[in-house]
């Protein structure tokens, strides 16, 4: 494998310098965050820009100047070595004849040079990318063949499956390769993919840089008549991507058709663009300009096309690469859309080692209408499985129960049939492999609910059950038998059976001989409280399965929270948002400087949890709310460290009180300055969030403000993401839920004032200036 070498970036250099200078962490963190986010941002570039916050602080704050001066020589130094995610080097002879190698960990042997140097040495570098999603697809196909369709072939699924594209267009892509982030789901809803080429384009577009072209791609896809090409030769090249130059292959084709490049020269251009080799681009520019002029291209078009080439280094993507990813993405989407239960069972099994992903995907399954059942000692297998249209937890999900123990349990169940009670279970499994800790976890998780009267009772008698089982095993090994064994054997022989079938040996079923004698010890029937049972599930499974304290208000949470807790890791550092969750733990500490109380508070949602750092001022205001099991609404700031860990810094905390009414969604528009395209975009956004909430338009004109109620086909589900999209389109002050007329100047003072005036006509069934079209507006006032 090939080594990679991580270097010290600008922010990390400031943090490292501050640490050795004994600057408090909070101060160092603020300094580091003065560096703008980005892959190639350097301290030198920041200090050269008078508008940069770091430069301004450097000029005015002596401590910042000292720290940055120490940090500057650190930037760019190698911080650590690692292993390339996919790169493998191949040679025809021993690698040690060509380059130095080293050992990482117990087994991996890696190069001591980077991939660039490997290529310079003339060795073959190949990328073999292992994806968990390929295992998920394989597992899902196996489950489908076993239970639904024996001849199912993932290689032969139709790439135009309408069910799949409808699901993707709704943004229901959690668990779909490449398409499950919140931003990608928004992009899916915006583009409304209808063919495989749309998915290839999305894979290429959803990256820093080309993301800015997603709205243009979406608008042109909805209305191809908007497409205009500066040169007719561009139409066959760019029309498949609705006028957006997305792929390196498109730039190569432009260079050949317009610039007169040979295929070899076009490939040189691709390499220069893809690897950002500016010197090579500068060499190719005169040839492109000369060739384009010779082919009759207008000078302004040549300038435009070359500017595309120069900018493409920041965003262009290889189409064949994007197509490979899109194919895997489509297959996972197809499985989710057409075989949802089987796919989700395979998906959840694949993330068993990731504590936050299991509750997230279990919640996704619940949202899809799929019931996820707790583990069951008589029904569960190693992984999650499908049982009568529902998903049964795998025993592998139970903490403290290893794979060896599970296999021993499954073998005992296969030999002797279902377990009948706790004593039967202990007698039939190997207690040297399935130890007391493992059995306790199985009981606590609910896996033994089907064979015992109560979890509390089974935990109380577990020591006696294990002791009894050991004695039975010892007696069997010595050849001794109880009177019940003899009675059952006699009865079996009299009925024509064999002593082995009903006996007490290792292959027999001990429950048979207790048929008349009962259990050796009576198991108490009194159980834990509901809250205690849920806590035991959380302890042993990492999540609530049989019920969840937040399940009854999940829809309210989604409507009123700015983001779900599971989405915080996708947000940029410093983002201000609102979350709703349940307090699951509180750790109070005293600050060293002031001696004030602060707290580390874990907030749990349906799909995951996050740690909050409650500093003294906020903690003092909200300490009465920060108690376990309390549901709170928190406005705060996303705090992401260099290592990628996400925390939440609360600014305000309040008790969560779900809104019971569904007040209309009010949108305020300035009718005198309303561009026609806004109505198109507004209709598109509203149609993507169908729900029970009415929508009112408050349209201000020179004649006053008029209210227009949109028709039932435009009722919406007032989710936070809907509000975000509408505010981006109309302006922050133009969207609210409730009486929209209360803020008379909002439409006039919102973002709408900067938009181009419209032509005063209604479009696409949305009424304007109080005039209803196509029956969509019910009444105006």
Could you tell me the CATH number of the domain that includes residue 609? Answer: 2.40.50.140
Same domain, 583 and 685: no
Which region holds residue 389: left if phi is over 0, alpha if psi is between -120 and 50, else beta?
Answer: left
What is d(CA 698, CA 491) in angstroms, rounded to the nearest whole number?
A: 86
* Main-chain dihedrals φ then ψ at residue 82, nearest 5 degrees: -145, -165
Q: Which pLDDT band holds residue 355 (cuts at 50, 70, 90)?
A: low
- Stretch 474-479: mean pLDDT: 76
Of 597, 630, 655, the position where a domain reaches its end is 655
Task: Provide the percentage of residues in the chain whose pLDDT is more than 70.
Answer: 87
Is 329 within a domain?
no
Same domain, 507 and 576: no
Of 93, 127, 161, the position where a domain reaches its end is 127
Instruction: Please say if the pLDDT value at position 22 is more than 80.
Output: yes
Q: What one-character-per-residue DSSP string does 98-137 give? A: TS-EEEETTTEEEESS-HHHHHHTT-EEEE----HHHHHH
Same domain, 168 and 306: yes
Half-sphere exposure of 699 (CA within 13 A, CB side): 24
Same domain, 408 and 477: yes
Q: Cα(first)–Cα(last) distance of the chain, in Å? A: 71
CB-based contact 538:550 (threshold 8 Å): no
Q: Say which residue, 610 or 717, is predicted with more confidence.
A: 610
Residue 43 has what pLDDT? 93
Residue 590 CB neighbours (<10 A): 11
> What residues have CB less than 8 Å from 742, skipping those under 6 apart?
none
Of 489, 513, 537, the position where a domain reaches its end is 513
Instruction: Please say if the pLDDT value at position 734 is more than 90.
Output: no
Instruction: Please say if the pLDDT value at position 751 is more than 70.
Output: no
- Stretch 681-685: mean pLDDT: 84
Residue 735 has what pLDDT? 84
Tokens 């493998």, located at residue: 88
Residue 776 has what pLDDT? 35
DSSP bridge pairs for 104: 108
pLDDT digits (tens, 9 = 90+) for 282-337: 889 999 999 999 999 999 999 989 988 887 766 677 898 899 999 999 999 999 99
pLDDT digits (tens, 9 = 90+) for 86-144: 889 988 888 888 889 888 877 688 999 888 888 888 888 888 877 889 999 999 999 99
> Where is mean pLDDT largest: 273-287, 455-469, 594-608, 703-717?
455-469
CATH code, 37: 1.10.10.1600
Instruction: Please say if the pLDDT value at position 501 is more than 70.
Output: no
Same domain, 311 and 190: yes
Is 714 within a domain?
yes
Instruction: Please say if the pLDDT value at position 724 is more than 60.
Output: yes
- Stretch 9-35: mean pLDDT: 91
pTM across the whole model: 0.74
What total number of domains does the chain contain?
Answer: 6
Is 533 within a domain?
no
- Stretch 383-402: mean pLDDT: 93
Same domain, 65 and 203: no
Same domain, 755 and 697: yes
DSSP bridge pairs for 609: 604
What is d(CA 197, CA 682) in angstroms, rounded to the nearest whole number?
A: 26
- Stretch 423-449: mean pLDDT: 95
- What SS3 state is found at 39? coil
Same domain, 70 and 90: no
Bridge-based pairing of strands 695-701 and 665-670 is parallel
Q: Which pLDDT band holds residue 518 (cuts at 50, 70, 90)?
A: low
Residue 313 has what pLDDT? 66
Residue 173 has what pLDDT? 94
Is 536 within a domain?
no
- What angle (nearest 5°) sits at the alpha carbon of residue 361, between those of residues 646 and 156? 125
Is 307 within a domain?
yes
Residue 369 CB neighbours (<10 A): 8
16-20, 391-395, 740-744, range with the lowest pLDDT: 740-744
What is d(CA 376, CA 398) in angstroms, rounded to the nearest whole number?
A: 11
How much helix, strand and coil, in percent to the nearest 5, is found in the chain?
A: 50, 15, 35
Is 528 within a domain?
no
> Where is mean pLDDT largest: 525-539, 690-704, 752-766?
525-539
Residue 550 has what pLDDT? 85
CB-based contact 249:321 (threshold 8 Å): no
What is d(CA 428, CA 186) in angstroms, rounded to the nearest whole number?
A: 53
Domain span including residue 605: 551-655
Same domain, 89 and 169: no
Same domain, 303 and 433: no
> Where is mean pLDDT largest: 311-320, 617-626, 663-672, 692-701?
617-626
Residue 642 has what pLDDT? 54
Same domain, 575 and 587: yes
Same domain, 641 and 682: no
Is 651 within a domain?
yes
Residue 86 has what pLDDT? 82
Q: Which pLDDT band holds residue 546 (cuts at 50, 70, 90)?
A: confident
Is 535 within a domain?
no
- Stretch 703-730: mean pLDDT: 82
């Amino acid at each position: 494998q090939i080594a990679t070498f991580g270097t010290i970036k600008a922010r990390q250099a400031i943090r490292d310098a501050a640490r050795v200078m004994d600057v408090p962490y909070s101060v160092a963190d603020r300094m580091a965050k003065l560096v703008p986010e980005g892959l190639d941002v350097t301290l030198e570039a920041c200090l050269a820009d008078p508008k940069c916050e770091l430069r301004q602080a450097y000029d005015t704050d002596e401590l910042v100047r000292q720290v940055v001066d120490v940090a500057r020589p650190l930037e760019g130094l190698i911080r650590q070595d690692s292993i390339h995610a996919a790169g493998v080097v191949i040679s025809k002879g021993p690698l040690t004849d060509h380059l130095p190698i080293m050992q990482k960990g117990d087994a991996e042997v890696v190069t001591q040079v980077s991939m660039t140097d490997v290529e310079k040495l003339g060795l073959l570098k190949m990328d073999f990318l292992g994806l968990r999603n390929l295992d998920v697809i394989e597992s899902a196909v196996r489950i489908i063949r076993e239970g639904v369709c024996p001849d199912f072939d993932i290689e032969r699924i139709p790439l135009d499956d309408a069910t799949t594209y409808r699901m993707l267009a709704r943004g229901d892509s959690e668990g779909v390769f490449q398409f499950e982030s919140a931003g990608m789901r928004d992009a899916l809803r915006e583009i409304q993919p209808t063919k495989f080429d749309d998915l290839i384009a999305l894979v290429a577009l959803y990256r820093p840089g080309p993301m800015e072209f997603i709205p243009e791609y979406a608008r042109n896809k909805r209305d191809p008549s908007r497409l205009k090409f500066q040169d007719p030769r561009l139409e066959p090249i760019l029309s498949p991507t609705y006028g957006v130059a997305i792929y390196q292959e498109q730039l190569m084709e432009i260079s050949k058709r317009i610039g007169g490049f040979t295929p070899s020269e076009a490939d040189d251009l691709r390499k220069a663009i893809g690897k950002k080799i500016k010197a090579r681009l500068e060499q190719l520019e005169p040839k492109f300009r000369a060739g384009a002029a010779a082919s009759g291209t207008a000078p302004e078009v040549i300038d435009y096309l070359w500017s595309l080439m120069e900018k493409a280094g920041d965003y262009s993507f290889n189409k064949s690469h994007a197509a490979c990813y899109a194919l895997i993405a489509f297959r996972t989407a197809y499985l989710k859309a057409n075989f949802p239960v089987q796919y989700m069972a395979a998906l959840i099994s694949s993330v068993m080692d990731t504590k936050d992903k299991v509750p997230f995907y279990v919640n996704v399954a619940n949202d899809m209408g799929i019931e996820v059942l707790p583990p069951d000692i008589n029904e569960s297998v190693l992984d999650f499985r499908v049982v009568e249209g529902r998903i049964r937890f795998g025993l592998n999900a139970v903490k403290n129960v290893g794979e060896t123990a599970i296999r021993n349990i499954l073998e005992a169940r296969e030999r002797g049939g279902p377990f009948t009670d706790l004593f039967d279970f202990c007698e039939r499994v190997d207690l040297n492999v399935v130890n007391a800790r493992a059995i306790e976890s199985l009981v606590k998780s609910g896996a033994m609910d089907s064979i015992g009267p109560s979890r509390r009772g089974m935990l109380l008698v577990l020591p006696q059950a294990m002791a009894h089982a050991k004695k039975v095993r010892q007696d069997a090994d010595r050849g001794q038998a109880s009177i019940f064994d003899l009675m059952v054997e006699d009865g079996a022989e009299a009925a024509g059976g064999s002593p082995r079938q009903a006996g007490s040996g290792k292959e027999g079923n001990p429950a048979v001989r207790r048929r008349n004698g009962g259990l050796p010890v009576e198991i108490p029937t009194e159980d834990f409280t509901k809250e205690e049972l849920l806590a035991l599930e959380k302890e042993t499974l990492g999540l609530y399965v049989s019920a969840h304290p937040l399940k009854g208000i999940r829809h309210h949470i989604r409507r009123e929270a700015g983001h779900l807790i599971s989405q915080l890791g996708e947000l940029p550092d410093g983002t201000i948002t609102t979350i709703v969750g349940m307090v699951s733990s509180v750790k109070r500490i005293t600050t060293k400087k002031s001696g004030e109380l602060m707290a580390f508070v874990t907030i749990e949602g349906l799909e995951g949890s996050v740690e909050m750092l409650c500093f003294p001022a906020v903690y003092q205001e909200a300490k009465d709310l920060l108690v376990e099991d309390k549901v709170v609404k928190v406005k705060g700031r996303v705090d992401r460290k260099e290592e990628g860990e996400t925390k939440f810094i609360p600014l305000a905390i309040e008790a969560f009180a779900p809104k019971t009414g569904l007040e209309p969604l009010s949108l305020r528009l300035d009718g005198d300055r309303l561009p026609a395209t806004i109505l198109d975009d507004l209709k598109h956004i509203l149609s993507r969030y169908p729900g029970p909430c009415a929508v009112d338009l408050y349209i201000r004109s020179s004649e006053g403000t008029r209210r227009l109620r949109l028709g039932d086909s435009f009722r919406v589900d007032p989710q936070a993401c809907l509000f975000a999209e509408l505010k981006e389109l109309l302006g922050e002050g133009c969207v609210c839920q409730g009486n929209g007329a209360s803020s008379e100047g909002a439409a006039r003072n919102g973002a709408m004032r900067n938009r181009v005036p419209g032509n005063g006509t209604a479009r696409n069934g949305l009424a304007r200036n109080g005039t209803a079209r196509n029956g969509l507006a019910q009444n105006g006032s």
